[in-house]
Every structure is written in structure tokens, then in C-alpha cells.
Amino acid sequence: MGIFGLNDLVLRKKPNRQSLSPYLDLHNKANERVTPATFKRGIINAVNVQSKTADVQVVGNQNNILKNVPVSSAIDITTLQPGNRCRIDMFDEANQNDMVVAYTY
């Protein structure tokens, strides 16, 4: 089997190592508890270029249209068109101001 024996192919558990940034690990754990993000797939229904928002229909629910959802600053709002598919990141499903159209595809 070449240089390595059969025992060398067995996956071994990695030793416990201290994180290079324990503060970052603590921050990430706390953030996951406080702001559990959910996301949904959607279809753009209308775009308001001046306010940089979009009306989005949630996929799977014909009656659920989210009005005036903010669009991510990473998206060129002038390229959005009704019918584009998108991902909506939701930090609070009851508050539409805590949602964002994260990207389109």
C-alpha cells in the first residue's frame, strides 16, 4: 500500500485545540442565541427604486406577499425585475423592517 499502512488511512479525531480567537467564538455563540436568522425563498413582485425596497411573494404561499422589504446594498436595485427569484433573510418574522432581500438568482 505504498508508504502508508492501513492504520494511517483511519480517520483520527482531531485533538482539542484552543481557538485562536476565543472572543470571536463567544460572540458567535451569543449571537446565534439572540438573533436566530431564518430565511425564505421568494419571488420579486414589485420594486421601488427610490426607497430601495421590494414587494416579495414567499415561495409556497401564494397569499403571503411581503411589502416594502429592504434590498441589500450589495444588490444593484436597478437590475431587479418582477419575477426574479430571491432569498429573504429574516431576523424577526413579525417585523418586516428586520428582513432583507439578501440576493437574487
Residue 85 in any domain: the answer is: yes
Per-residue pLDDT, 92: 79
Query: Domain count of the chain?
Result: 1
Q: What is the pLDDT of residue 20?
A: 67
Let me know if residue 13 belongs to a domain.
no
Q: Give me 80's grid cell.
A: 431587479
Residue 58 lies in a domain: yes
- Evaluate whether 88 touches 56 at the Cβ level (below 8 Å): yes
pLDDT score, position 82: 96
Per-residue pLDDT of the chain (105 residues; tens, 9 = 90+): 445 454 444 444 455 555 667 777 776 776 666 555 688 999 999 999 999 999 999 998 878 899 999 999 999 999 999 999 999 998 877 787 889 999 999
Strand positions, DSSP E, the chain: 38-48, 53-58, 65-70, 85-90, 99-104
15 inside domain: no
Residue identified by cell 429574516 is 90
In a domain, 29, yes or no: no
CATH number at residue 72: 2.40.50.230
Assess contact for 103 and 87: CB atoms under 8 A.
yes
- Give pLDDT, residue 11: 47
pLDDT value at residue 32: 64
Q: What is the amino acid identity at position 69?
A: V
How far apart (Å, rounded) are the C-alpha atoms in residues 98 and 63?
Answer: 20
Range of the domain at 94: 38-104
> Is residue 79 in a domain?
yes
pLDDT at residue 48 in the model: 96
- Using the structure block, give the residue that is written with the C-alpha cell 397569499: 63
Going from the C-alpha of 19 to that of each of 26, 30, 52, the distances in angstroms are 10, 16, 40
